[in-house]
Amino acid sequence: MRILHLITRLGLGGAEAQLLALATAMREQGHEIRVVTLIPGGENAARLRNAGIQLDDLGMRRGLPTPWAIFRLLRLLREWRPDVLQSWLYHADLVATVASTFHRVPVLLWNLRCSVLEPRDHSRMLFMIIHLLARWSGIPDCIIANSSAGREFHEQMGYSPRCWQVIPNAIDTLKYKPSEQARHEVREELGLPDGALLIALVARFHPMKDHECFLRAAAPLMADHAGLNIVLVGPDIEPENSMLTGLLQKAGLQDRVHLLGSRTDMPRLQAAWDIAVSASYSEGFSNTIAEAMACGVPCVSTTVGDAELLLGDTGRLVPPRDPAAMHNALKELLQLSGEQRKTLAAAARQRICAGFTVHKVVERYLTTYRRLLQQAGDNPA
């Protein structure tokens, strides 16, 4: 198949990481893959090119609608003639749908990557786009959501497509795997002894990631565990972020907290933790928790999105916005013996390998594409 993926940009977010993994795997299976971004650049752009995937951009700038971008996409569709146009994220869904009304593609799909969105955390313009897409949701041949919670939220927003598919995120278990070497290297990098305990939260600094809840939960543990350290990783997780440093001071966590910012060596870092945490009060499918599980790390997650489906009984689930419940879950995991923690770790990795590998997820996408192409009467196979 000839598959064109359209996405807003290629930063370090979860959707971008998923696109990189799926596009690379699809190309390795012999499909022709092209990726187009609305906005040029992004940290994952070079990785995509290094994987041998053709990358184009429509020349848009953040916050500035560019009608000419539609014409650029139309020209590309006419010249390349994809069998499948798969858009990722709301802005790309909008642009893909407008373009498809002027130039028919055999199969058009949208990709939804989140569950509940709270108006106070996002712009009014974003919600205007979501409401417009809800009215247009019968246009694509299918909408793929990465969680059942995401599907339910968008149904409540008025989405009523001809076809729904819930396909979870994919984890590269060859990259994300247990590593004693990584544990040693990361502790050495942080200036810590090998026996230091690391609790990590990997997320960009955004209200819905709820760093404050996590910090309030973890702070009382520091007095009881002399070797315990907290690691925060993600965009804007830096000492220059006054809002974040204010949260640290409020929680009494001036010491033994490591702010690593954006990183490109996540497989190595994820393998170094003793416990990984997601404190989000809105999440469809947590990539960071799934990656940590693949690395054999016990996890604590809030009960948002499809967290229960992901974690099963391999970690601890707590209500969102409940620091006391999160504190108790972290304390419980810290009190486990080494052997008990190893048992949880092995079960976590096995759960990812059983249902969330790149191979399994890519095959579900391709099966959906083939079925829709066959229905459209344009199956190239």
- In eight-state DSSP terms, residue 303 is S
90-139, pLDDT tens digit by residue?
999 999 999 999 999 999 999 998 766 666 665 777 888 889 999 999 99
Residue 144's pLDDT band, with cuts at 50, 70 and 90, is very high
CA distance 314 to 38: 39
- Give the pair of three-digit tokens for residue 334: 């810290």
314-347, pLDDT tens digit by residue?
999 999 999 999 999 999 999 999 899 899 999 9
Residue 218 to residues 141, 229, 259, 286, 325: CA-CA distances in angstroms? 46, 10, 15, 20, 11
- Give the pair of three-digit tokens for residue 159: 């989405």
Going from the N-terminus, what domains does the chain have, and what CATH number goes with each?
Answer: 2-170+357-376 (3.40.50.2000), 180-355 (3.40.50.2000)
Question: Rounded to two decimals, what is the model's pTM?
Answer: 0.83
Q: Which long-range contacts (CB under 8 A, 24 or more apart) does 301-309 make?
A: 301/277, 302/210, 302/278, 302/326, 304/115, 304/116, 304/149, 304/280, 305/115, 305/147, 305/149, 305/150, 306/147, 306/148, 306/149, 306/168, 307/278, 307/283, 309/148, 309/168
